[in-house]
Amino acid sequence: MSYEHEHELEFAKVGQPVPEFKMETYDPEEGFFGEVNLGELRKQGKWVVLFFYPADFTFVCPTELADLAARHAELKELGVEVISVSTDTKFTHMAWKNDERLLQDVRYTMASDPTGIVSRYFDVYDYDTGLALRGTFVINPDGMLVSSEVNFYNVGRNADELLRKMKANVYLRENPNEACPAKWEPGKKTLTPGEAMVGKVYEALNG
């Protein structure tokens, strides 16, 4: 994995573009090692979900990756490229995938960030342990970071909520003048912000 101008990087910020980068990978579906290139995914018009986790062969992590695998097909239908990331090597990813039964349905790319460069950019790198916190980041097809979530080591995430947020992000990209309220699902009412709605959100949602 490499950045062209690593020394110039700041932390990732929601609403700001993400620089192009590469990481070595293990592809569980094909059984091959490879490389993921954010620039290439951008050219393909992909949404990208980076799913950072602390380490292979640990405890909460396989439950999270299994949960994500259960929603992977639906995310792919939305045009999302799912990439799990830890500071382990691609070789460890392969061994863990083959050993841990919870990972039997994992088909998405498993990326390796052994130097912690990508983890540091997304501000999930723990300098005391050399591991990444549980961070989920959504990058839109224009290369902009549109969502950021970070948990500590002991709290696992919910892929159902990630899927819900991805549906909202995809809808809003096609309908930029609207906004999605809490717990929005496709088919439910959205909001169109404007002077007439100030102090009248209840009426807008229940009218």
Residue type for position 85? V
Instruction: Encode the chain (207 residues) as per-residue pLDDT tens digits.
Output: 344 444 445 899 999 999 999 999 999 999 999 999 999 999 999 999 999 999 999 999 999 999 999 999 999 999 999 999 999 999 999 999 999 999 999 999 999 999 999 999 999 999 999 999 999 999 999 999 999 999 999 999 999 999 999 999 999 999 999 999 999 999 999 999 999 999 999 999 998
61 catalytic? Reply is yes
Cα angle: 144, vertex 149, 153; to 5 degrees:
140
Ranges of each domain in the chain: 6-174, 177-207
| Cα–Cα distance, 191 to 202 (Å, whole number) | 10
Which one is catalytic: 1, 12, 18, 61? 61
pTM of the full structure: 0.94
pLDDT at 147: 98
Torsion of CA 28, 34, 40, 41, to 10 degrees: 20
The whole-number pLDDT of residue 9 equals: 54
Q: What is the model's pLDDT at position 64?
A: 98
CATH architecture of 6-174: 3-Layer(aba) Sandwich (3.40)
Beta strand residue intervals within 70-144, DSSP E? 80-86, 109-112, 125-126, 131-132, 134-139
